[in-house]
A and B are shown apart, each in its own frame.
Chain A
Amino acid sequence: MNSRALRRVGLMAGVATTAAIVLSGCAGSSNPSPSESEGEQNFEGVELTLATFNDFGYTDELLAEFTEETGIKVVHNKAATSNDARANFFQKLGKTGLADVEAVEVDWFTEMMKYSDLVAPVPEDLKGRWLDWKEQAATDANGNLVAYGTDIGPQAVCFRADLFEEAGLPTDREEVAKLFPTWDAFFDIADEYVAKTGKPFIDSANSVLQGLVNQLETAYEKPDGTIVATENPDIRAAYDTVVDRAVPISAYAGQWSEDWFASMASGEYAAMLCPPWMHGIISGNAPDITDWDVADAFPEGGGNWGGSYLVVPANGANVAAAQKLADWLTSPETQIKAFNSAGTFPSQPDAQSSPDLTGFVNEYFNDAPTGEIGINRANAITVSTYKGEKYFQFHDALQNAVTRVFDGVEDKETAWNTWVTEVSAF
């Protein structure tokens, strides 16, 4: 081949390569055509995807049962953390790429409610399956229930019996439960403990803020969209209570730090506000401590922390089959099985009468009847806090204010004023 011919081949090759790259760059955007809508109730051979995070207790065996009943295959994708799931969910919502059934955590559930028209509503006949407040939080402005509740986090009080004994407090869980009828009583006991031992009573000041805010009807926003954050006297009262009474008795400002995890075993504090899912975290971080126990009490009623929902994206290929799967997974019977494998506390009243739950005892917590306690705590929750789309931002900023006071960076009034300026920019 002479050099000119060689060059010509090169030219062609260059054109071809370039064209190929340009074409492949464009190819990604073409959408796969949505498949034909399925026949009425025959889902034989349909394959669904289910996306969850952490551990929902949906084991392969459990999903195999569903396949056996309906003939629908289920592929289960688990994200490592709720944050990963959140990023993925919002990047794909309304477009393509979401699983047929997606799990949504209560922390970012309010953000999702803004897009409630993009998920398929729950069929009418399923209404009433879940606890009232769980359903209420998932009902959009048009009165549609848009999400299937999975678990809840009814809070109780976890305590260290040995440290209580040293401070001269009762150690029996029935008696401890009587100590905390109100927040005032809770803080009085805490002050007493701190005075006697010189050590903090609870783990974190912001967990108290969480508890207080979750007992309010209106927190930062009203259902009609008006923002009341800085004018709401209840929020100011909660902030005052936390700063004046909770900060002095807390070991840390917030949770989830290196130090905080290490402190569960070190006996730095004697009590924690704990939802059922916290039990696993305590036993995991302090495996050698034998004195953790759970008291069936929460100041001034109840409080929920955490829990999730399942949603069916409305533009999925198999919405009807996906609804069937979400329905099946959140049925009381399935949720009890999930509880047995992962400890996720069911949000369905019917599940709460199951002997599997009522008879459940936790060995690590000195055989505390955590099933029964969870049911009692869930029933004590009477208020459902309205959480608007910016709830997370407001609450996070207020937690930062508490942290600043705790750290001594700012005093009480300065921290509050900083918060007011901060949230007015939202």
Chain B
Amino acid sequence: MTTTATRPATRPTKKDDGTRQPRVISFSQKLSKWDLKFSPYLYISPFFIMFAIVGLFPIGYTAVISFMDWDLVRNSGEFIGIDQYVWILTQPHFWTALRNTFSIFLLSSVPQLILAIFIAAVLDRNIRARTFWRMSVLLPFVVAPVAVGLIFTAIFADNFGLVNTWLNGIGIDGIPWHKDPLASHVAIATMVNYRWTGYNTLILLAAMQAVNRDFYEAATVDGAGPVRQFFSITLPSLKPTLIFVIITSTIGGLQIFDEPRVFDQFGRGGAGQQWLTIALYLYDIGWGQWNFGRAAAMAWILFVIILLIGLINLFITRTLVRDEGLHRELTKRQARALGKAAKKNVKEEASR
């Protein structure tokens, strides 16, 4: 900020000086010139250097390892081309894991976001003890994932779990939480929702509060009810925030690991891979079988999947949730067409 502010002030003086000064520029002047040019980059460089060391380098190194048969202990590997990728893509477990990941992702993200928008809309109203309610929705987020896992393991245990004990109490057979894929996905999605709904609620609430209150007043005057106001004002204004929330929950949802890991005592996704997710499979290949070549290939596949899904999500969100600004930002052709129509109208009026 400061550099852009000082720049216009220094430039004219430089021009004046240029005619009078000798050609040789003193070192101190050079230094101050460099200072202007390079300091901003230097100031922000620590972050980027750290990022390069702990972010970019591992990503690149993972790519290198993914083309090798890597031995972690001897720290050496043999280049084998794309074999690791081929191996992963031909594993039935991989496709099961992909199915599970998407199933859990959809079962968690969709209800989670709908619920979060609803709760945020309620909290956005004038209610008593506002801060209390707002803080309470965030409370589950403070609980560590593994602790959430422990609590829900007790709730979803097959024989003596809370849910199944209740169901048996009212004469219904217990749900096979650890046997049926869908049941296990619902259980895991519940853990995820428990933790993340409040977090998303708060973000959406903040966005809702930034919406200009005049819109609502005008809408009320025009006779729009709360439901109409919600769909026509609140939801369109949330678009940028919704995109953010959806993309973060996509990334989180596709990398889901903690919850399925603690869902049973072995942490390998069940005897029939009922709740094996991509991240869990990756961990098992890497740290269970010490096959880092395959694990690295898997990490890259996961990266590409997340990228793809993120883009698809962005696209869908853009088309589904319409911006209120769309009416203003007309394309040139639309503007021309509108202008023509108006002229025509005027002519018709005049000729009549």
Q: Is the interface of A mostly helix, strand, loop or mixed?
A: helix
Contact between chains at A259 and B35 (CB < 8 Å): no
Contacting residues, chain A, for B179 (C-beta < 8 A): 407-409
Minimum C-beta distance from B276 to chain A (A): 11
Contacting residues, chain B, for A399 (C-beta < 8 A): 271
Does A403 belong to the interface (CB within 8 Å)? yes
Does B337 belong to the interface (CB within 8 Å)? no
Contact between chains at A111 and B290 (CB < 8 Å): yes
From A44-52, A85-93, A169-177, A330-338, give the one contacting chain B: A85-93
Interface string of B255-279 (1 = CB under 8 A from A): 0000000001110100110100000
Interface size on B, residues (CB 8 A): 42
CA distance A111 to B42 in the complex (A): 48
Contact between chains at B35 and A421 (CB < 8 Å): no
Chain B, residue nearest A259 (CB) = B159
Interface string of B127-143 (1 = CB under 8 A from A): 00000000000000000
Chain A, residue nearest B93 (CB) = A422
CA distance A403 to B176 in the complex (A): 14
Contact between chains at B49 and A18 (CB < 8 Å): yes
CA distance A401 to B160 in the complex (A): 24
Contacting residues, chain A, for B158 (C-beta < 8 A): 259
CA distance A393 to B154 in the complex (A): 28
Does A185 belong to the interface (CB within 8 Å)? no
Does B108 belong to the interface (CB within 8 Å)? no
Interface string of A230-249 (1 = CB under 8 A from B): 00000000000000000000
Q: Restricting to A61-109, which residues have a CB under 8 Å from any CB of B?
A: 87, 90-91, 93-95
Contact between chains at A118 and B265 (CB < 8 Å): no
**Of B153, B159, B176, most A-chain CB atoms within 10 Å:** B159
Contact between chains at A407 and B46 (CB < 8 Å): no
Contacting residues, chain A, for B74 (C-beta < 8 A): 94, 115
Interface string of B1-40 (1 = CB under 8 A from A): 0000000000000000000000000000001101110110
Minimum C-beta distance from B58 to chain A (A): 13
Interface string of A364-406 (1 = CB under 8 A from B): 0000000000000000000000000000010010011101100
Contact between chains at B45 and A409 (CB < 8 Å): no
Does B331 belong to the interface (CB within 8 Å)? no
Interface string of A244-259 (1 = CB under 8 A from B): 0000000001101111
Does B75 belong to the interface (CB within 8 Å)? yes
Minimum C-beta distance from B76 to chain A (A): 10
Contacting residues, chain A, for B93 (C-beta < 8 A): 422
Given that A7-B39, A21-B46, A408-B179 are contacting pairs, would A91 and B87 also be in contact in the complex, using a CB cutoff of 8 Å? no
A: residues with CB less than 8 A from B are: 4, 7-8, 10-11, 14-15, 17-18, 21-22, 25, 87, 90-91, 93-95, 111, 115, 118, 253-254, 256-259, 262, 393, 396, 399-401, 403-404, 407-410, 421-422, 425
Contact between chains at B271 and A409 (CB < 8 Å): yes
B: residues with CB less than 8 A from A are: 31-32, 34-36, 38-39, 42-43, 45-46, 49-50, 53, 72-75, 87, 90-93, 153-154, 157-160, 176, 178-179, 264-266, 268, 271-272, 274, 287, 289-290
CA distance A209 to B272 in the complex (A): 18
Contacting residues, chain B, for A87 (C-beta < 8 A): 287
CA distance A259 to B153 in the complex (A): 10
Minimum C-beta distance from B278 to chain A (A): 17
Minimum C-beta distance from A114 to chain B (A): 8
Contacting residues, chain B, for A393 (C-beta < 8 A): 289
Contact between chains at A11 and B42 (CB < 8 Å): yes
Interchain residue pairs with CB less than 8 A apart (17): A7-B39, A8-B31, A10-B39, A10-B43, A21-B50, A258-B160, A262-B160, A400-B271, A401-B271, A404-B271, A407-B178, A407-B179, A407-B271, A408-B179, A409-B271, A422-B93, A425-B90
CB < 8 Å neighbour of B75 from A94, A256, A403: A94
CA distance A56 to B274 in the complex (A): 36
